[in-house]
Structure 1
């Protein structure tokens, strides 16, 4: 067995753990247990599942001190950031519990038998049902919110599926302790064995995706790794859904009026969004369109001043640290960007200071529109909306776009909205895209390569990824789910074309 090590990015020190890489037999045993659990789990009532989700949230919060301490030493992220993220994870479990009790996510429909304009028609009833064991890959930049205890795990369990998690190599101990917290809470609640599983090691992740018992994969990470996993799925005898959140530049556009009226405020907000969590957020604005002229110059100068006086920030791991300067150098050498602020590398660990680049909109090509994970922003200087539109054509599709404008710029704001509407999954006005709200309305997805799906990975509708439709035609009542039987039910349904609210 291969013993795995953990690295403290603040110092670069590597420490052996007691965690061993999961071999192929171990993966198979875990997925077999998950398949057995699914046969039981899918029959449990929604009220039971909602209770489980709330019990898991309570279990996380009971272990808060231990979990946050482990994550600090493996990620270099602050205690405040990690406490907030753990609170977010607990909130997600409880939000999904509310959604499960509500039942609207089932999309239940009943069409009674009868005469139609096309002749006699059978009785048909339809709703969404769980798919089977789901593989969830932990993300390096969110040790809680997008990892073992994150939204993919919460939404897959809410849908009624077992979950097998691939622990991220950058926070192995955090993953193990997070899983232990979930497993203790689940066992106390009385879940079937195999409902939760975890594997360690790169090869175990590949084996997990190829396992025929896995019904879907949730992944947050790099585009290159996402393509590898998709390739494994394509080689399976039965391909399965792959929900990948992969790469995003998140363009931010500052109008001429906003540059004049809110120079310092936008400088502060944009700089904070670029450098928050050391620039390692998937919604970080990697490029910002700033108008030519005195107001734009003042905004650029404000950002440059902040970056030049900044302290070092710790990056998550050696790979991200090494790639940071490689990409920055490439953006200059191949993309044609000008360096306004050179980053400084820390004396120990994986730390750097922010980097600021600049380029004229007329010179923007795909070579300068590359995601750089870390505290780096490319400022694109433009002269008119035509140059913004042209430059956006070289920018890959993203999770978000942000527009800063003033009251008297309604026509420009509408034009910019139209320009970005086909490129992203969320448009932010006069704010910043980092800090994704966990709610019913949130969409955290976008066109390829931001994601490869029409669904969101944040918010209640994330549950839709791990459900499939099933219809019952002329079915005897005793084989129907409770939600599809005639009479009062506690969920909203569409019956013979009319929407009926829940009976409480």
Structure 2
């Protein structure tokens, strides 16, 4: 989207994957040349992450920043950019637990279907998708218990998969250990110590709690990056609303239920609209369609700018500065704005 807006792009290679970054970078350079873009349209920089990243953000020729990573890293870059003599926007995608709300009265067959879909969504890419569902609210009672058992049996069968690097694998283990140690949280499936040849493989984890315990401990809201799911039981719709109110900003929030019952959950949907950039009904969040309507963003701390999206045609707006030409004669307008459209571009007229 930065190229679509006419901006050159500087990428900071990840320090844990220099060779992979170089391979990808060379492929991008070849593509840039094949498309006839000018030299300098793409640059790849190697070096220690914090030092190089901060230097790029502080450089006066850099006018906007895109970042995906931890909340601490994204916030540090955001604060640095805000302190410049000329502050610039930082579009940082940081943390999101992407809650799922399962409504009561769905029946065992439907609940088992949800458990199957949840397993696939929670373990996709070793749980490292930014839309990974980390917290699931389900109705208490016998049906809820069967849902937990169904999901647990599927997670037990999940093979170890590689995470991005050893540091992230260690952070995953530490995050699970911290979460499992909180009052009111039970560890049903612990990740195995099977790091693999690269010392970065991880296995699935399942924890449970209840809405009252969840609401009494803010640390349960924190993301555990990896194939980990916290299942939280609730007694009634008022507890669901309380949980939704307690949530930080999220990329997504999903609701599973019967269409005819949705009106009775209007208060919940109203709350979720203020908490997430994308609301889903009877769908899992890990699939992100690239289209004009999609919003891949959300209120802080999911991102540093809840008005933006990093996917879809709206993503170009992060790297464009609107300019209005009012009252100018036709011959002095940029070609993009001339009435006869000499560049033959797609335009929307107000």
TM-score under structure 2 length normalisation: 0.92
Match of 2:236 in 1: 384
Match of 2:143 in 1: 295
- Give the direction of change, closer, same or farther, for the CA distance of 1:325–1:347 in structure 2 (3 Å limit): closer
Match of 1:481 in 2: 334
Name the SS for the 1:265 alignment partner.
helix
Match of 1:133 in 2: none
Q: Encode CA deviations 1:391-441: one digit per residue, 9 max, x unaligned.
A: 223322100011110244233343432231111011111110002111121
Q: Distance in 2 between matches of 1:474 and 1:439?
A: 34
Match of 1:246 in 2: 94
Q: Encode CA deviations 1:356-415: one digit per residue, 9 max, x unaligned.
A: 111110111311111001111110100111011112233221000111102442333434
Match of 1:446 in 2: 298
Structure 1 residue 493, shift from structure 2 partner: 4.8
Match of 1:271 in 2: 119
Q: Does 1:362 align with 2:212?
A: yes
Q: Does 1:456 align with 2:304?
A: no
Q: Does 1:156 align with 2:5?
A: no
Name the SS for the 1:472 alignment partner.
coil
Match of 1:412 in 2: 264
**1:488-499 matched pairs, under 5 angstroms:** 490=344, 491-494=346-349, 499=350
Q: Distance in 2 between matches of 1:474 and 1:438?
A: 36
Q: Does 1:196 align with 2:48?
A: no
Q: Which runs of 5+ in 1 are unaligned?
A: 1-154, 500-504
Aligned residues: 341
- Give the direction of change, closer, same or farther, for the CA distance of 1:189–1:276 in structure 2 (3 Å limit): closer
Q: Which runs of 5+ in 2 are unaligned?
A: none
Q: Encode CA deviations 1:240-259: one digit per residue, 9 max, x unaligned.
A: 11111111011001111225
Q: Does 1:465 align with 2:313?
A: no
Q: Encode CA deviations 1:207-251: one digit per residue, 9 max, x unaligned.
A: 111110011111111111101111221232211111111110110
Structure 1 residue 488, shift from structure 2 partner: 5.7
Name the SS for the 1:289 alignment partner.
strand
Name the SS for the 1:427 alignment partner.
strand
Structure 1 residue 314, shift from structure 2 partner: 1.9
Is the Cα contact below 8 Å between 1:362 and 1:391 reproduced in 2?
Answer: no
- Find 2:161's aligned residue among 313, 321, 327: 313
- Give the direction of change, closer, same or farther, for the CA distance of 1:320–1:395 in structure 2 (3 Å limit): same
Structure 1 residue 335, shift from structure 2 partner: 5.4
**1:24-173 matched pairs, under 5 angstroms:** 155-173=1-19
Moved more, 380-389 or 466-475: 466-475
Query: Bigger radius of gyration, 1 or 2?
Result: 1
Is the Cα contact below 8 Å between 1:199 and 1:205 reproduced in 2?
Answer: no
Is the Cα contact below 8 Å between 1:398 and 1:447 reproduced in 2?
Answer: yes
Name the SS for the 1:451 alignment partner.
coil
Q: Encode CA deviations 1:253-307: one digit per residue, 9 max, x unaligned.
A: 1111225441211111111111111111110110000101111110001111122
- Find 1:236's aligned residue among 84, 96, 101: 84
Structure 1 residue 355, shift from structure 2 partner: 1.0
Structure 1 residue 165, shift from structure 2 partner: 0.9
- Give the direction of change, closer, same or farther, for the CA distance of 1:292–1:259 in structure 2 (3 Å limit): farther
Q: Encode CA deviations 1:312-359: one digit per residue, 9 max, x unaligned.
A: 222221221111121112223235311111221105322222111111
Match of 1:121 in 2: none
Q: Distance in 1 between matches of 2:160 and 2:173?
A: 14
- Find 1:179's aligned residue among 16, 25, 39: 25
Q: Distance in 1 between matches of 2:3 and 2:336?
A: 19
* Higher share in helix: 1
Is the Cα contact below 8 Å between 2:245 and 2:271 reproduced in 1?
Answer: no
- Give the direction of change, closer, same or farther, for the CA distance of 1:479–1:381 in structure 2 (3 Å limit): same
- Find 2:74's aligned residue among 226, 243, 257: 226
- Give the direction of change, closer, same or farther, for the CA distance of 1:493–1:280 in structure 2 (3 Å limit): closer
Q: Encode CA deviations 1:479-503: one digit per residue, 9 max, x unaligned.
A: 3201323446644354xxxx4xxxx
Is the Cα contact below 8 Å between 1:271 and 1:306 reproduced in 2?
Answer: yes
Q: Distance in 2 between matches of 1:473 and 1:411?
A: 46
TM-score under structure 1 length normalisation: 0.65
